[in-house]
Chain A
Amino acid sequence: MSDHPLAPLTALARDTPVVEKIGGITITENPDLAIASLAVRHGRELDLQTLLTPVLGEDLPGPGRAAFLEDTAAIWTGIGQWFLMSPVAKHPDYAWDMKYIVKDTASVTEQTDGWVIFDVIGDSLSPLLERICNLNVNAMSDGDATRCLIEHLGCLIICRESGRNISIFGPRSSAASLHHILVTAAKSVA
């Protein structure tokens, strides 16, 4: 990439990711993921899997599920739709890289700067999640991923380890609001 004088900022407009330690819960902003959305074209499901499965190492995940692969994560976001994620350092132009792979079997849209990601880690996250969304969080197992409302924000919730390690994707333009919601809930359960 060419050198330029612009200073990169995180979604919370800082130089470095914000880390909050509240009781046994750690909330960390994760600015290091490139995100692209994938929407299969009508009737091309098998063609898409044929092109993408060798690259990913396994099939795209089914409804309500995420797959964590070597350096890529895939999340089911709707019927025939997925989010793909990879370290931004490895894929500075991720949507273009994915489009090259899936060709005309799917539409790919760059999503990297549309989202803020908070990784939430703790011994027991169920009381926190129960305060902010109406999912049955105790029934979520490793690799479950779903979209739901957190207050007024449509967010993706990815369960990396049941009750202990989750990632929350929220709209980047509301990053500070989502951060406030998470910190407030964490303080109330700490």
Chain B
Amino acid sequence: MIINHPLLGPRDAQEFVYLGDANLIDRPDPSSSTALDDFHDYLYLRDNPAGSHRELWFHEQGDRSWLVVTRDTTTHEITHVELASEYAKRQGRDR
């Protein structure tokens, strides 16, 4: 599998480490009154789609960037790759 790195171009998947669902970026607010339930859902509840899935990949043997890769879990076709920092900024995070 080849991942088209947004900065470095096509790179072999061998250089990457897979973490999991990109929703891990959206860590709940620990000061919220519903924090206990929010963290339970964050830790234990995951969608397991047969089809398009947004997931976190780490370019460990490259530039050490975190990427959000949109991959079809049934065909392994990758439709979109972006830096996780860009994705997080779009969610309103500062980094």
| With A63-B7, A64-B8: A149-B63 Cβ-Cβ less than 8 Å | no
With a cutoff of 8 Å between Cβ atoms, the chain B residues found around residue A76 in the complex are: 63
| With A79-B85, A146-B8: A134-B63 Cβ-Cβ less than 8 Å | no
Q: Say yes or no: A148 contacts B15, CB within 8 Å.
A: yes
Q: Select A148's contact among B10, B61, B85, beta carbons within 8 Å.
A: B61
- Nearest residue in A to B60 (C-beta to C-beta)? A154
With a cutoff of 8 Å between Cβ atoms, the chain A residues found around residue B10 in the complex are: 136
- Bound: A146/B59 CA distance, A: 12
**B12 contacts A by Cβ under 8 Å:** yes
- Bound: A64/B11 CA distance, A: 12
**B14 contacts A by Cβ under 8 Å:** yes
A64-91: CB near B (< 8 Å → 1, else 0) gives 1000000000001111010000000000
- Nearest residue in A to B95 (C-beta to C-beta)? A42
**A147 contacts B by Cβ under 8 Å:** yes
Main secondary structure of the interface of A (DSSP, over half): strand
- Bound: A148/B64 CA distance, A: 11
Q: Say yes or no: B61 contacts A77, CB within 8 Å.
A: no
- Bound: A63/B9 CA distance, A: 10
- Give the Cβ gap from A177 to chain B, nearest Cβ, in Å: 16
With a cutoff of 8 Å between Cβ atoms, the chain B residues found around residue A154 in the complex are: 61
- Bound: A180/B14 CA distance, A: 22
Interface size bucket, B side? 10 to 19
With a cutoff of 8 Å between Cβ atoms, the chain A residues found around residue B9 in the complex are: 64, 136
| With A78-B63, A79-B63, A79-B65: A149-B8 Cβ-Cβ less than 8 Å | no
- Bound: A148/B63 CA distance, A: 9
A142-162: CB near B (< 8 Å → 1, else 0) gives 000011110000100000000
Q: Say yes or no: B8 contacts A78, CB within 8 Å.
A: no
Q: Say yes or no: A78 contacts B15, CB within 8 Å.
A: no
Q: Say yes or no: B61 contacts A149, CB within 8 Å.
A: yes
**B92 contacts A by Cβ under 8 Å:** no
- Give the Cβ gap from A53 to chain B, nearest Cβ, in Å: 21
With a cutoff of 8 Å between Cβ atoms, the chain A residues found around residue B8 in the complex are: 63-64, 146
With a cutoff of 8 Å between Cβ atoms, the chain B residues found around residue A63 in the complex are: 7-8, 63
| With A79-B85, A149-B15: A64-B7 Cβ-Cβ less than 8 Å | yes
Q: Which residues of A contact B (CB under 8 A)?
A: 42, 63-64, 76-79, 81, 134, 136, 146-149, 154
Apart from A76-B63, A147-B61, A148-B11, 15 more pairs, CB < 8 Å: A42-B95, A63-B7, A64-B7, A64-B8, A78-B64, A79-B65, A79-B85, A81-B63, A134-B14, A134-B15, A146-B8, A146-B63, A147-B62, A148-B61, A149-B15
- Can you offer 6 A-B residue contacts whose CB atoms are under 8 A? A42-B95, A63-B8, A79-B85, A134-B14, A146-B8, A149-B61
